[in-house]
Amino acid sequence: MSLNYPGYFVSFEGIDGAGKSTHIEAFGKLLQERHPNREVVMTREPGGTPLGEQLRKLLLDAPMHLETEALLMFAARREHIAQVIEPALQAGKVVISDRFTDASFAYQGGGRGLSLSKLNELELWVQERKNGVLLQPDLTILFDLPGSVAEARRSKVRAPDKFEQMDLEFFERVRQEYLRRAKEDQQRFYLIDATQTQEAIWNLLKGLEINI
C-alpha cells in the first residue's frame, strides 16, 4: 500500500561536510526546469516553518538531554509535515527537503545512542497516515563518505554548531546508521560516493531518472 500523493518528495542526507548543501539548490532548479508545470518547494530540517526554525536554533546551540533533542526534532517535523510537506504533496508539488527522519535515526540513534525502538515509535507517531503506512520521501539521496574526509571539508569559516563539534567516532556512527537505513530500503535510497569530485557528483544527479 502507498500513500499516493500527487506530489513527489525528495530528501537529501549525509553527515556534516558530505557536500549535500553544495548541490541541493542546483538540483531544485534542475527539477523546476525539467518540470515547469510543477512547483518545486525547497525546505529543510530541523526547520521549514517559523516554529521549526525557532526549534532549530535551540537544537543547534542549546545543550539538552538526548531524549529532549529527539523529541524536539520530531516536534519540529510534525509541524513541518502539517504546514509544508503534506499540503504541498497533496497539491501535486515537488518537495525537496534538506534532511528528514533518516537524520534522526543517524544522529540521535547512531551518533548519540538513542534506542532505535524509541525512534521507531516517534517515526510512527509523526508519520503514520493510514494502517501503518508512513509518510516517507519517495527518494532519499544519501551523500556517503568517511568521517575523516567530511571533517577536513567542513567549513572553517563559521563557528561549528553543537553537532559539528562532535568527534570522528560520532560521525562514523552516524554514517553507519545512514548506511543501515539505506540497505533496509534500497528502493528509496540513492547512494552517492561523496568522495568524488563536485563535477562527478553533479553529473550523477543530472543523470538520475526521477519518475515525477
Residues near ligand TMP (CB under 6 A) are 16, 44-46, 73, 98-99, 103-104, 107-108, 163
- Nearest-approach distance from CB 73 to ligand TMP, in angstroms: 4
- Nearest-approach distance from CB 117 to ligand TMP, in angstroms: 17
Q: Based on CB atoms, which residue is closest to ligand TMP, 23 or 44?
A: 44
- Nearest-approach distance from CB 131 to ligand TMP, in angstroms: 25
190: left (phi over 0), alpha (psi -120 to 50) or beta: beta
Q: Based on CB atoms, which residue is closest to ligand TMP, 46 or 147?
A: 46
Q: Based on CB atoms, which residue is closest to ligand TMP, 94 or 101?
A: 101
Q: Based on CB atoms, which residue is closest to ligand TMP, 92 or 146?
A: 146
Q: Based on CB atoms, which residue is closest to ligand TMP, 45 or 86?
A: 45
Three-state SS for the chain is: CCCCCCCEEEEEEECCCCCHHHHHHHHHHHHHHHCCCCCEEEEECCCCCHHHHHHHHHHHHCCCCHHHHHHHHHHHHHHHHHHHHHHHHHCCCEEEEECCHHHHHHHHHHHCCCCHHHHHHHHHHHHEEECCEECCCCEEEEEECCHHHHHHHCCCCCCCCCCCCCCHHHHHHHHHHHHHHHHHCCCCEEEEECCCCHHHHHHHHHHCCCCC
Question: Computed from CA positions of residues 191, 116, 138, 188, in that sequence, does the dihedral angle turn out positive or negative?
Answer: positive
Alpha carbon separation from 171 to 59, 112, 145 (Å, rounded)? 17, 10, 10
Q: Based on CB atoms, which residue is closest to ligand TMP, 16 or 138?
A: 16
- Nearest-approach distance from CB 12 to ligand TMP, in angstroms: 8
- Nearest-approach distance from CB 171 to ligand TMP, in angstroms: 10
- Nearest-approach distance from CB 99 to ligand TMP, in angstroms: 4
